[in-house]
Structure 1
Amino acid sequence: MSMKYYLSLLLLFFSTALLAQKKFTLSGTIRDGATGETLIGATVKISGPATAGTLTNGYGYFAISQIEGSYTVVISYTGYTAITKTITLNKDIKLNEELKSTIDLAEVVVSATNRKNENVKSAQMGLERVDMKSLNSIPVLLGEKDVLKTIQLLPGVKSGGEGNTGFYVRGGAADQNLIILDEAVVYNSSHLLGFFSTFNADAIKDVSLYKGGMPAQYGGRLSSVLDVRMDDGNNKEFKFQGGIGLIASRLKAEGPIVKDRGSFMVSFRRTYIDLFLRASPDSSINGSTLNFYDINAKANYKINDKNTIYVSGYFGKDNIGVKDLFANDWGNVTATIRLNHIFSDRLFSNTSLIYNNYNYTVRLLNDVTNFKASSLVRDFNFKEDFQYFSNKHTLRFGINATQHRISPIDISVSQESQVNPLTQQRRYGIESAAYISDEWAATEHLNFLYGLRLAAFSLMGPGNFSTYDPDGNILSTESVADGKFYKNYFNLEPRFSVSYLFNEENSIKTSYNRNTQNVHILTNATSSSPTDQYVLSSNNIKPEIADQVSMGYFRNFDENNYEFSGEVYYKWLQNQIDYKNAAQLLANSNIESELLYGVGRAYGLELFFKKKFGKLNGWVGYTLSRTERKFAELNNGKYFPSRQDRTHDVSVVGIYNISQRWTFSSSFIYSTGNAVTFPAGKYVVGGQTTYYYTERNAGRMPYNMRLDVSATLEGKKHKRYQSSWNFGVYNLLARKNPYSIEFIDDPNDPRKTAAQQTSLFGLIPSVTWNFKF
């Protein structure tokens, strides 16, 4: 045979191989068949000449590339009937499908993801999702469904205490959690001083909590990300739903703008405690104010097959006041405009313009000075995110830039007042980032999720910036003009997670991630409050840094009906902030002179066992942890427990579906008391008792324990109308859990000191009527 013949055979072989290996893309959007809502995290799996699977992204979009051939496609989502199709993949194919809901109340409220064994297979660690359809089953205070209270029942997430929606994740402080609503930062997520959260569950579609292995697209906080997404609205028909409870009512309306093309959603909630106060015969409280309202609104429109626009907003306000004494109001406003664009079957983009505003005002009503104090935090944010799908890789990359404006506190008084007005200087900063990450299914057993985030922060003028010595005295002050950069920080944040599957039912995972934070809350309370001060990183305050490593074992049993996981973690914290002893905090224009800077560490074990299906389901979570800080000026330079340090946390949730109409549930929590600083002694000056303190946080509050129960009765089903009654008892054991402890002179012997405990709640019954039509 001639050389020409061999070359012809060789060329034919390679050309055939190339043709055989040519890949085509299956892509599309998965929606709810009844409402047209996009489904986040739906599973799309194809099998044939090759097998592959993926999850839909935050907008219900997916893409899978495979070689030519005939495939079976299975599309599934928890609580929905799966769809199976056969396709011939010889060209790029669009597959937009709608799934029908089974409304299976036997499914657990919190699920790691929507694929039955995704908790085992995914490289992502520490991700928990809240199933909004089943949230009614969890007993809560006064019957108000509460996303933040629900996530506090998970291991690694510690409650801020009764009467507080603040939470702590793996040793982080309350301000180290990034809470976003449709991509907009929510600086204060509480209503009525923390009794309720700002998130009206009727208006929420998806809630994802990242407590470890944070993906590279998120940044700006050290401990966790709570990503909350609002309902898009029903694009097929008009619907109304709501509820009437003991202290609050809510109403939601949704419907198509153009059927199957665009929709809207508006939800309103308000309390009416103030109506009872007005009717009170007690003249001291008659006319006092105690209420909140919030409005969620969203609209979307599909311009064409490649472009969809979303507009959403949140408006919330709290008003608390005592007649003729004081008035306090605070609120959040967020607005988001997003454009989804499909460049190709494999390349998806999301462009966002985001605004958020948080402010509070305090007034003294019985004071001739006309005292008024106010504060403001305002952000403008631009984000550009891309997602690229290939055979074994899902690549994400993007940029974002945020302009911060913070007005710490302004105090105004009348001209006749003896009190001096105070206007603290506004601070301006630009926080920007660029990131890239890749989720790589390397083999059937090995999965990687890795990325890198470059975070930058610039403090800007106008303003005067002082430098202080260790005693708080001003060493120098520099004046910076408007728009000029004064201080810049740059940090690289690597993120890495890997999972190894022994089989379909068990795996091990490990992760490392670094995060930085440039927006800080200054508070000396055990939990956040509306009047906390926000500050930016500066010449004195360096960006906080956290490095976390974690490792876990994940196991499913009985065809994924039972889940078990055990995780250990260790976190190093740099540039942590605390106050000096006897610091002057209120209305201090040189607040940075009162700060101390140190390090911290947190480590722990988290165990989680969950039953997902059947008449009886629920979970048990346990956390054993330690959280410590160290400052050269405190506790002789030794580590001491942080305020949020609690050794043991136990939560048990049970949901029992006794029939198609009756569902019973209960939750039990137990936790070690918070670390607190007790006085070591006291002395009397001018007839006034003054306490002195030695070791920081060396004492403990009493332990917390609470049992809540509820029952839900579904009304008889009608063609256009549904209703249900929810009956609950909060704190069935009527235990007086500690909210605060104050030290006073013992009435029987002033030489001794007595501890006086304040508790908020005893046994509280509730009833709520919910309706939908």
Structure 2
Amino acid sequence: MFTLVFIFSSIIASAQKFTVSGTIKDKKSGEALIGATLVVVNDPTIGVVTNEYGYYSLTLPKGDYKLLFRYVSYNMQEIPVTLDKNTKLDIIAEPEDRQLKEVVVSSKLSNVRNAQMGMTKLNVQEMKALPVLFGERDVMKIVQLLPGVESAGDGNSGFYVRGGAVDQNLILLDEAIVYNPSHLLGFFSTFNSDALKDVTLYKGTAPAQFGGRLSSVMDVKMNDGNDKEYHVSGGIGLISSKLAVEGPIVKDKGSFLISGRRTYADIFLGLSPDTNINRSRLYFYDLNTKFNYKLSDKDRLFLSGYFGKDQLGLGSVFGINWGNATGTLRWNHLISPKLFSNTSLIFSDYNYNINVNNSGFSAKIHSEIRDWNLKEELDYFSNPKNTIRVGFSSIYHTITPGTITGANITTVGKPDNHTWENGIYISNAWKPNSRWNIDYGIRLSIFTVFGGSEMYELDAKGAIKDTLKYGKSDVVKNYINPEPRFSASYTLNENSSLKAAYTRNTQSLHLISNSTSSNPTDKWVATNNIIKPEIADLGSLGYFRNFKNNMYELSVEGYYKYSQNQIDYKDGANVLNNDAIEPKLLFGQGRAYGLEFSAHKTQGKFTGWISYTLSKTETQINGINNNQWYNARQDRTHNLSVVAVYEVNKKWTLSSSFVYYTGDAVSFPSGKYNINNQTVFYYTERNGYRMPSYNRLDFGATRQLAHRKHFTSEISFSVYNAYGQQNPYIITFQDDPNDASKTQALQTALFRFVPSVSYNFKF
């Protein structure tokens, strides 16, 4: 009701004004530009930003104006407009004519004026110069080089944000949740860079339309496809290749994109004379598709999908496959020049299958999480000082916890778990004057637990006291949590500002894993009568400063996060079997705090950035570590990344990156004893030890081979871990073969001197 009154009063107040609106698109491809800015030349404090579909709306008093268009890697334009009536003005943006992309990471708006804190936008087309593992331009590896973001391990695509665990990151692909964003046990991500248009990372303080995770939102959007002309692009690497085709369905009205990728490590395995090796399977493939069509000046349909699969196996004896599938159907409708609607029907699925066939025993294990999501969102461009967004999201989750079937065994498994996650939200981007930019809003999350699956009552020691029976349609529990959001920037002068933010996030899906790296058999479990939603309150404060005509960008951000209902395992818990998980868990509180420093050079032949994070992450759970605070597994005191890109000439580009961070907190044995001639290690303090610190230097070089109107090509070289540092992937312990009273620590390292070469083309 409040929203309707506000909108109605705004319409009355703007009766003597007129609106200029439209879309901003790339001249060559017709792609909509997300986050492009239009400001009034005579008063740069009045302006607007395009939404996720390139749409803008600006209401001004009657008169003549000049609007200034700005967007990273595009030529600025001054556009005259006469407002004596509502005017539709579509803007065609021309990319800068340069062969080298100088800026790798850039702000969605000016890093000084934007109210949003902890937000970074990656320009996917400008990542090409950076050195990468196995020649794959992996957006998730680039994210790990940002302040406040830490890699989950050597070569791993998982990441930690401001002390949060891997499962506390919401990863979206065209609005669909991606539950396992990795291939080949984490060494590749699911995102094929050739199919992507925009990647935005929010570190905790995300807009109200996002919910369901505590630490971050990684919002990934696929290319729409070129609606002007047909193009084919691809790349050939040492272990993988990819190909993308795009073009118009009807010129200037609709387009398509189809992009595929596959590794071929299994081909090389087949050359081995060892039959155990040549019958093995080790590969992945994925497919991205997107179609869009303009039904009218006010309506456009989008259909996008992703399908990816990994295969890992040893002949017919053992095999595991896992993969994601997503689909998004969207309808954009322009209700009025000031009111934009987006309606989405979204599907998401993640599953894994394990097959065992050995000595007459045959079995299959299957687990799955599947979502159906309906979203509705309205953007109301009230006036130059207020942009309102209101909407809802309704997700129905179905989780198959694990089913075991086989020819000679009785089917074993738990019933599917059904839950319903709803979110209602409203937010406003408010510019009260030339110095203040304020974003505020609230999200109401409602998580409903249905019956039909096994639920338990636990005794005081956490053992199962009783099994509770509910029908499939019975509502077992409702969890309702308000999530306020607030962020503001105060401009000190043209080049500097102070920012502050506060947000509350809740999370009702939890990843159960006792491995130190991404594992396809990790299980998602939903909040139920025992496992409560995790809740986190995050406050942050920052100073932002630009130098020398925005050539250098400096930022310092401090944050403190307090978390409730944090989950950890009891000492000695085993989560690899199909038993009830609830008796193996304990619940408590967490805290994370730190300082993030970032310095960017964004212009010239030499560009890059330095990021450093000083942080602490701790957990306190009764029943663990004598009820005292202990280090979370992802706690790292120091995290440093240095990235440099140098344009030698129009043909050659050199790059380098250096990473250093404190080793993970781990639980090493404090002693051992012998039972029946078997050594048993025992553990005392939880996460009381450290892995050795991690450091790595990478080099890359890109040579432009051709740069013609209808054909471009390049060859890229890189060396991962150039000085061969043996960073520990895992450390295990055993008795010393020469003296059983002593213990040996065995360190396993994954990558040393990994060279790669890839050839990329487009025509």
After TM superposition, the score normalised by the length of structure 1 is 0.95
Write the deviation string for residues 279-318 of structure 1: whole angstroms up to 9, x where unpaired. Answer: 1122220110000000000000010011000000000000
Residue equivalent to 1:405 = 398
Residue equivalent to 1:360 = 352
Distance 2:222 2:124 in 1: 11
Code of the aligned partner of 1:22: Q
Residue equivalent to 1:107 = 102
2:208 paired with 1:213? no
Distance 1:212 1:555 in 2: 22
| C-alpha contact 1:409 1:587 (8 A) present in aligned 2 | no
Write the deviation string for residues 561-605 of structure 1: whole angstroms up to 9, x where unpaired. Answer: 110000000000100111111113222331111110011000000
Change (3 A) 1:746 1:737: same
Change (3 A) 1:220 1:138: same
2:561 paired with 1:571? yes
Q: For residue 193 of structure 1, give the secondary structure of its aligned residue in structure 2.
A: helix
Deviation at 1:463, TM superposition (A): 2.5
Residue equivalent to 1:391 = 384
Code of the aligned partner of 1:397: V
Write the deviation string for residues 70-107 of structure 1: whole angstroms up to 9, x where unpaired. Answer: 10111121111122121111111111011111154242
Residue equivalent to 1:350 = 342
Q: 1:636 aligns with which of 626, 636, 656?
A: 626
2:283 paired with 1:291? yes
Deviation at 1:368, TM superposition (A): 2.2
Residue equivalent to 2:178 = 186
Distance 1:51 1:185 in 2: 36
Q: For residue 202 of structure 1, give the secondary structure of its aligned residue in structure 2.
A: helix
2:472 paired with 1:482? yes
**Percentage identity across paired residues of the two chains:** 51
Q: 2:584 aligns with which of 575, 594, 603?
A: 594
Write the deviation string for residues 40-85 of structure 1: whole angstroms up to 9, x where unpaired. Answer: 0111112358951111110000111111111011112111112212
Distance 1:280 1:316 in 2: 27
Q: For residue 260 of structure 1, give the secondary structure of its aligned residue in structure 2.
A: coil
Distance 1:378 1:666 in 2: 40
2:135 paired with 1:140? no
2:594 paired with 1:604? yes
Count of aligned positions: 750
Matches within 5 A, 1:735-746: 735-746=725-736
Q: 2:232 aligns with which of 240, 250, 270?
A: 240
Change (3 A) 1:49 1:331: closer
Q: For residue 274 of structure 1, give the secondary structure of its aligned residue in structure 2.
A: helix
Q: For residue 568 of structure 2, give the secondary structure of its aligned residue in structure 1.
A: strand
Residue equivalent to 1:121 = 113
Code of the aligned partner of 2:205: G
Distance 1:191 1:623 in 2: 28
Distance 1:585 1:421 in 2: 20
Structure 2, unpaired ranges of 5+ = 1-11
| C-alpha contact 1:428 1:461 (8 A) present in aligned 2 | yes
Deviation at 1:684, TM superposition (A): 1.2
2:719 paired with 1:724? no
Structure 1, unpaired ranges of 5+ = 1-17
Distance 2:739 2:13 in 1: 94
| C-alpha contact 2:227 2:249 (8 A) present in aligned 1 | yes
Q: For residue 164 of structure 1, give the secondary structure of its aligned residue in structure 2.
A: coil
2:443 paired with 1:456? no
Matches within 5 A, 1:666-685: 666-685=656-675
Deviation at 1:21, TM superposition (A): 8.2
Write the deviation string for residues 461-491 of structure 1: whole angstroms up to 9, x where unpaired. Answer: 2223211124332222221112221111000
Distance 1:354 1:52 in 2: 36
Distance 1:750 1:726 in 2: 51
**What's the Cα RMSD here?**
1.4
2:649 paired with 1:649? no
Distance 1:364 1:330 in 2: 15
Residues 719-728 or 28-37, more deviating:
719-728
Code of the aligned partner of 1:716: A
Write the deviation string for residues 426-445 of structure 1: whole angstroms up to 9, x where unpaired. Answer: 10000001000001001100
2:317 paired with 1:322? no
Residue equivalent to 2:433 = 443
Residue equivalent to 1:755 = 745
Deviation at 1:352, TM superposition (A): 0.2
Residue equivalent to 1:154 = 146
Residue equivalent to 2:68 = 74
| C-alpha contact 2:402 2:578 (8 A) present in aligned 1 | no
Distance 1:21 1:330 in 2: 57
Q: For residue 362 of structure 2, give the secondary structure of its aligned residue in structure 1.
A: coil
Residue equivalent to 2:9 = none
Residue equivalent to 1:558 = 548
Q: For residue 136 of structure 1, give the secondary structure of its aligned residue in structure 2.
A: coil
Distance 2:316 2:468 in 1: 44
Residue equivalent to 2:493 = 503
Deviation at 1:450, TM superposition (A): 0.4
Q: For residue 415 of structure 2, give the secondary structure of its aligned residue in structure 1.
A: coil
Distance 2:728 2:345 in 1: 43
After TM superposition, the score normalised by the length of structure 2 is 0.97
Distance 1:714 1:50 in 2: 39
Residue equivalent to 1:617 = 607
Q: For residue 142 of structure 2, give the secondary structure of its aligned residue in structure 1.
A: helix
Residue equivalent to 2:84 = 90
Residue equivalent to 2:507 = 517
2:12 paired with 1:22? no
| C-alpha contact 1:403 1:431 (8 A) present in aligned 2 | yes
Distance 1:514 1:51 in 2: 30
Distance 1:597 1:216 in 2: 27
Distance 2:661 2:43 in 1: 53
| C-alpha contact 1:567 1:605 (8 A) present in aligned 2 | yes
Q: For residue 463 of structure 1, give the secondary structure of its aligned residue in structure 2.
A: coil
Distance 2:194 2:44 in 1: 41
Deviation at 1:717, TM superposition (A): 2.2
Distance 1:289 1:62 in 2: 50
Distance 2:494 2:664 in 1: 40
Change (3 A) 1:283 1:463: closer
Q: 1:63 aligns with which of 53, 57, 82?
A: 57
